[in-house]
Amino acid sequence: MRFATPLAILAFLSLPLGASPAAPKGPRAAVLKAGHAPFVGEGQEKKTNVVEVVELWRQSKGGDDYGKVIRQRFKSTKIRTIRITGTAYSLLVLDGDFAPLLLDGMEWVLWSIEGLGERFQHARDIAVIDRKVTVSQVEGLADLDLAWTLDFAHPDQGFVARYEERGGF
């Protein structure tokens, strides 16, 4: 049997009350919650001022993993994740298309962001910058660029989805 060293015990005891040794360092990120979230921006393609955040799956003891749930519900064969730096979240890519799905890697919850529009999945470009992910350059649009930003940068404001139309002649 292996025991903790006095130095390891001292390091653990020096943590602030309620902190975890595995807690991420740096600024906090906004947290996803079920319900409405702001959808900021304007454009022809944007139809609403809110998106609906829906919990699709939560890890339970003995339950299915998120991959099995996605394969059954979305009929997807290839699942990829893109980690959003500074957060516990990853954006999912299903069969090569961006999906309005976020996986919380700390709580093991799969979230759906509903109301981003039909063209979201046809975007070709992604930028991940400090607690934000931007998906843009929709396939088939020659003179107009659409961009969606999923923003976790301001924990006091909560999660915000942003939309922008660029160009348009």
Quick check: 14 pLDDT over 80?
A: no
Candidate ranges 1-5, 26-30, 55-59, 141-145; pick with highest mean pLDDT: 55-59
Per-residue pLDDT, 26: 53
Per-residue pLDDT, 22: 41
The overall average pLDDT reported for the chain is: 83
Higher pLDDT, 65 or 132: 132
- 10 is a domain residue: no
- 1 is a domain residue: no
Per-residue pLDDT, 13: 39
Quick check: 4 pLDDT over 50?
A: no
C-alpha 8/C-alpha 28 separation (Å) is 26
- 66 is a domain residue: yes
Query: Is residue 168 very low, low, confident or very high in pLDDT (cuts 50, 70, 90)?
Result: low
Boundaries of domain holding 134: 26-167
**For the residues 11-24, what does the mean pLDDT come to?**
39
Number of domains in the chain: 1
The conformation of residue 39, written as its DSSP 8-state character, comes to E
Per-residue pLDDT, 27: 63
Place of tokens 């319900």: 35
Residues 104/2, Cβ–Cβ less than 8 Å: no
Per-residue pLDDT, 46: 81
**For the residues 155-165, what does the mean pLDDT come to?**
91
Per-residue pLDDT, 8: 40
pLDDT, tens digit, 9 for 90 and up, residues 48-57:
889 999 999 9
Residue 33's CB: how many other CB atoms inside 10 A? 12
- 46 is a domain residue: yes
What is the percentage of the chain residues whose pLDDT exceeds 70?
83
Residue 120's CB: how many other CB atoms inside 10 A? 19
Per-residue pLDDT, 145: 86
- 49 is a domain residue: yes
